[in-house]
Amino acid sequence: MTGLSRKAAIVGIGATDYSKDSGRTELRLAAEAVSAALQDAGLEPSDVDGLTSFTMDTNSESAVARSVGIPSLKFFSRIHFGGGAACATVQQAAMAVATGVADVVVAYRAFNERSATRFGQFSTALAGAPTSSGVDASWSYPHGLGTPAAQVAMVARRYMHVYGATSADFGRVAVADRKHAAVNPAAFFYGKPITLEDHQNSRWIAEPLHLLDCCQESDGGIAIVVTSAERAKDLPQKPAVIAAAASGAGADQYIMTSYYRDGLTGLPEMGLVGDQLWAQSGLGPTDMQTAVLYDHFTPFVLMQLEELGFCGRGEARDFIADGAIEIGGRLPINTHGGQLGEAYIHGMNGIAEGVRQIRGTSVNQVDDVENVLVTAGTGVPTSGLVLTA
């Protein structure tokens, strides 16, 4: 176990409603989420001295501080790589707390990602941007690989070819997520489960991905409050202790288009994160009672199960075939409904669900939870957490 392990804890979570048209500015969404998280933690804005978010977030730390009433900041940071940043924001917060740089740090993410900037759309501006990312995109965009679905479809097709996975195997992830979302009043797809037949009959987005293989585009905000494990003992909520927090970028890493790797059947960056998580925490896959696996696209959930050691290469389709990832299975995942069923808030709502599982307050509570794995965006440099009771 390393120096960071178990020195910090998540003590508050807050969220706005999830919708397709929030009717509010992104700054207001961020302020609402941070205020709700502080209330949940039993803390005041004056207790906060650190903020961390995504480089993609439009709300500066100083603007959020002003809006919430946080008087001053000792620490602020931002993480690149879209959804890959989710758990890394908490890692940054935990490092700041563990080293004494700050006492209470709030990680936040807020956007109008459905009613304003839609991440699922083709972005011609990116391919022409005078940046390294623009140069990288200029190789793939002219071939039609300009949306996340198209980019993931390339890897998914190769995975199917090598390991014999089918579209129905991917669909079982969507069915499980939507089953969990159907009983979550906060989920956009509350009361709307799907069948495998529904999945197979949904329209193609980018073969082999159906519509129901793809996450939502959502409006909303999430905030996570982190403080020391010692201080957490005196706060009202049961703390979710951060047993491990890790980030990783694999060899020959691109942003969603790492097509020059030899295998093209896995997510090496997630394997790197997993190795760190198990080493830091002293735990392993068999110690996890539940997991929140970043599910922007269903094929990458199967690959994560393999990278993280829950099963061997090419074996994820068999691992999930008997309902293992549903409530009552040996590894229930995305018990809030995931980004496919609850909302797509760049994975931050998944961290909140991990906290609820530790607290015992999830709408799909798993029995006797002691440890929860949470992962961030895949196909990009990524991050992960192990939370423990």
Can you give the pLDDT at residue 182? 98
pTM for the model stands at 0.96
Helix axes 298-307, 167-181, angle to 10 degrees: 100
| 127: number of Cβ within 10 Å | 18
Closest CA to 213 of 313, 338, 363, 374: 338
Distance of alpha carbon 187 from alpha carbon 132, whole angstroms: 37
pLDDT at 341 over 90: yes
Beta-ladder partners of 9: 227, 241
**Each residue of 257-266: pLDDT tens digit?**
999 888 889 9
Can you give the pLDDT at residue 2? 59
Terminal-to-terminal C-alpha distance of the chain: 17
Q: Return the active site residues.
A: 294, 344
Distance of alpha carbon 356 from alpha carbon 369, whole angstroms: 10
Distance of alpha carbon 302 from alpha carbon 332, whole angstroms: 13
Distance of alpha carbon 172 from alpha carbon 108, whole angstroms: 31
Can you give the pLDDT at residue 144? 83
- Span 131-150, average pLDDT: 87
Closest CA to 351 of 279, 292, 281, 280: 292
Can you give the pLDDT at residue 127? 75
**Each residue of 314-333: pLDDT tens digit?**
999 999 999 999 999 999 99
Mean pLDDT across the chain: 96
Distance of alpha carbon 384 from alpha carbon 291, whole angstroms: 11
Read off φ and ψ for residue 166, nearest 5 degrees.
-125, 170
Q: Which amino acid is at 151?
A: Q
Q: Is residue 339 within 8 Å of 294, Cβ to Cβ?
A: yes
- Backbone CA torsion sign across 156, 157, 163, 167: positive
**Each residue of 224-270: pLDDT tens digit?**
999 999 999 999 999 999 999 999 999 999 999 999 888 889 999 99
pLDDT at 125 over 60: yes
Burial pattern 231-249, b for ≥16 Cβ within 10 A else e, equals: bbeebebebbbbbbbbbbb
